[in-house]
Amino acid sequence: MKYLKELLSLSLVSFCILFLMSWTWYLTIVIRVGLVSPLNVMEIMSNDLIYLGKWAFILDILFLLLVYVFYKKVKSKQLDKDTYNV
The pLDDT assigned to 85 comes to 58
Kindly tell me if the per-residue pLDDT of 1 is higher than 60: yes
Indicate if the alpha-carbon torsion angle 72, 78, 80, 82 is positive or negative. Answer: negative
pLDDT confidence tier of residue 20, bands split at 50, 70 and 90: very high
pLDDT of residue 40: 94
DSSP 8-state assignment for residue 35: S
Q: Taking 60 as the threshold, does the pLDDT of residue 11 lie above it?
A: yes
| Residue 24 pLDDT greater than 70, yes or no | yes
